[in-house]
Structure 1
Amino acid sequence: MKILPPEKRYGMFAVYAFCREVDDIADGDVQVPDRLEALKDWHKRIDRLYEGETQDGLDRVLVATIVRFGLRKEDFAAVIDGMAMDAAGPIVAPDEATLDLYCDRVASAVGRLSVRVFGDSSPEADRVAHHLGRALQLTNILRDVQEDADRGRLYLPRELLVRYDVPLDPQEALYALGLDPMARILAKRAADHFREARRAMKRCDSVAMRPARIMAASYHPILKALLRRGWRHPDVPVKISKAARILRSLLAYYR
């Protein structure tokens, strides 16, 4: 966000504030009587924003950002629906289609909002959002297997778990011999998404894609570090050189 000119930076602040609000509801960080009802209220709130009705400061900056950058209502709705998937109860071993839908809603939809604020609303920019969002979310899932298991969650796809004889119970999965080869397949998918995102970036406005390039350059090393560590001991933190990440980000800025 810091590399963006002020108007776009404040637009991203508005998008981030929205994402933070709905994520806090889904994770239970904000105490509400019913998390799913609170998220339904956000659907109604987004509908009102697109009719120009505002009630507080966040509403006003969101409306300004929606109008200025042509943000689409369906992308806000997708993010809310992704949060509802978590709020409905711990996600445990979803099937492939459900996992992809989850990644689209909680990551790629945020990307579709973001690329418009960055300055590119082309189909290729949406393609960047599609692939980069999935690359980042799969990397998060692979990095946080232990942390998610401690919260009763297991985002790894059921079909791969069954194929590699990994238990569908989050805690038991951590000690399965098949976890490492299974996770490496998912890591390969994440790498493929990083590659496709970079290809799409080259067909987009170069300046607008700077934040996306920096995000990819910062995150891809996490995936590589995970592959070096493996998943036989998923509780061991991955180590990444901060200086190397900064250098990659700088190189991505000037490409």
Structure 2
Amino acid sequence: MMRGELNAAHVTDPALRAAYARCRRLNARDGKTYFLATRLLTPRRRPAVHALYGFARWADDIVDDQDPSIPLPERAARLRRLDAELRAALRSGRSSHPVVAALVDTAGRYAIDPRHFGDFMHSMRMDLTVTEYATYEELRGYMHGSAAVIGLQVLPVLGTVVPSDEAGPHAASLGLAFQLTNFLRDVGEDLDRDRVYVPRDLLAAYGVDRELLRWCRLRGCTDLRVREALRDLAAMTRGIYRHAALGIPMLDPLSRPCVRTALVLYRGILDEIEAAGFAVMHRRTVVPRGRKARAVLPAVAGTAALRVRCALPFGGRRALPGTVLP
């Protein structure tokens, strides 16, 4: 299947094909929701999304490596080397790195603003030393690089029917909503890494501090005060999802099912968190398979029909046999 996607994207260099394949494996392994939604994209667009996700995962794995034999200074050095490789590759347009090569090729093909990658790496460096945020505004500064720019990176791949500047804020909001959902789902796991992404002032408004969070984590429960603080953040996240959804009609019609499905699936995680009473301190919330199927299957059928319509231009003349759809 990857071979067909790379052929559709006109990626012919063997080393570059291997880099894209590596990114696809990273997406399939660690980004199950994203990967599922990506299947709704046209084949030629999929490798680019895999490249963007694969690089982000590669960097994130350096930051979050929990191997005690790899101390913080070594992780920081690895991140610096990755950043240097990325900067050099963006200047030259090529790289021998197994993931950077695909990213740089994608950036060139779709004219992605290189500043987005610099902002992303800045937030990755923050994760090495910053363990909490006093306010949402502080957190929002971090999320600009770790989440909002991911939406902005993907936007040129998806294509728009309006100027990109008009669609950009909604794409950024989608990245923010996804990450805030992750923060809500992973409060307990993040605490194990000595990180708290729920703003400190929001927690304090409900009488919550790190000690209470640790108490909940150790005892496998969620204190009422913690639930209320998380409920507040969930309400904010829902507002960001609403803003993100306004951007879907601005996308290329062939990309809308992918993004709509990703939004529905990720917002479904938020639904499950709320349904479970925000019991996230001791378990990871997932969307049941049946609910995923109900979200994805109609999108698959609609995507197939849309691609057929797009392949019947000029009064319904069919595309020639062997033609690759966009």
Q: TM-score, normalised by structure 2?
A: 0.70
Change (3 A) 1:38 1:147: same
Equivalent residue runs for 1:1-255 within 5 Å: 1-28=38-65, 31=70, 34-56=74-96, 57-88=98-129, 91-120=131-160, 122-169=164-211, 170-172=213-215, 176-231=223-278, 234-238=281-285, 240-252=287-299, 254=302
**1:16-70 Cα distance to aligned partner (Å, 9 max, x none):** 2211221111112685853223323333323222222534154443332111111
The CA deviation at 1:233 is 6.6
Q: Is the 8 A contact 2:41 2:255 kept in 1?
A: no
Unaligned 5+ runs, structure 2: 1-37, 304-326
Q: Point out the more displaced range, 28-37 or 176-185.
A: 28-37
Q: Is the 8 A contact 1:217 1:249 kept in 2?
A: no
**1:180-234 Cα distance to aligned partner (Å, 9 max, x none):** 1111110001111111111121233232233221110111111111112223673
The CA deviation at 1:239 is 5.6
Instruction: Indicate the percent of aligned positions where both proteins have the same amino acid.
Output: 27
Rg larger in structure: 2
Whichever residue aligns with residue 113 of structure 2, its letter is R
- Root-mean-square deviation (Å): 2.5
Whichever residue aligns with residue 275 of structure 2, its letter is R
**1:161-191 Cα distance to aligned partner (Å, 9 max, x none):** 1111101344146554311111111000111
Whichever residue aligns with residue 84 of structure 1, its letter is R
Q: TM-score, normalised by structure 1?
A: 0.87
Whichever residue aligns with residue 42 of structure 1, its letter is L
- Counterparts of 1:73 and 1:239 in 2: how far apart (Å)? 34
SS of the residue 2:210 aligns to: coil
**1:112-151 Cα distance to aligned partner (Å, 9 max, x none):** 1112222237123322222111111111111111222223
Whichever residue aligns with residue 221 of structure 1, its letter is G
Q: Is the 8 A contact 1:124 1:201 kept in 2?
A: no
- Counterparts of 1:100 and 1:13 in 2: how far apart (Å)? 25
- Counterparts of 2:197 and 2:138 in 1: how far apart (Å)? 10
- Counterparts of 1:34 and 1:50 in 2: how far apart (Å)? 24
Change (3 A) 1:41 1:52: same
Whichever residue aligns with residue 249 of structure 1, its letter is V
Unaligned 5+ runs, structure 1: none
- Counterparts of 2:280 and 2:250 in 1: how far apart (Å)? 40
SS of the residue 2:250 aligns to: coil
Q: Is the 8 A contact 2:174 2:241 kept in 1?
A: yes
